[in-house]
Structure 1
């Protein structure tokens, strides 16, 4: 986790606008927060360099690209040793089938979010990813029926 970074009101306003629509031009951003385009550019670079902006990317509708099924997987690890936890996190972080991975407290040690074309394909992918995996003791699947809200924007 990153250390807390001091953000002023301009940084917060800029982050809020970028979360809403990162395709806005620097000129438009500058007009909205009452700074020059050059100042906006410097702030964006600073926010990227200090880790406040992790990535600027498009949010793709899963069903449009043939991945209409969202699955939440609760993974119970084989043990709680730090080496096992670190290796499992690294493996899931690098797994193309996994969109999100969270280390959590509770019954499961890791939560995975996956988007797949079908439940049959989910079964095949989990067999590859989780079956006979030395780090995984068990897993529980939750199939999302209705994506009521899917927004990564933070309340700044």
Structure 2
């Protein structure tokens, strides 16, 4: 159940390719290993989904950014409002704290590299959180996993 859901303010769609971010994050998830060198996330279970927020408000709406003189004119248009990205990873129980930390650090580095060019042009807040069970109910039905379970 390694799912990563990305919620973001919609002005980023004009500035960044969020599909590219999804692919980079999925690849990063597939690259994380535990202390024994085994993949943390089963390849067939990795899911990364990104959604622009239909409605949002961030901080003071950009007033402090405008007052500071930084990025006063957004070269990509838009209101100059701050952008925000929330990345939430859900993983099942059973992984060590060190493994969870390694996964978080790996994904954070990918996000920082992806957003660096945009952060040079505008104010963006980025939050990445990892949530671990406990699941009350967890059913899975897929014909994807067998593609990766060949011995």
TM-score, structure 1 normalization: 0.34
- More relative contact order in 1 or in 2 (CA 8 Å, sep 6+)? 2
Greater C-alpha Rg? 1
TM-score scaled by structure 2? 0.35
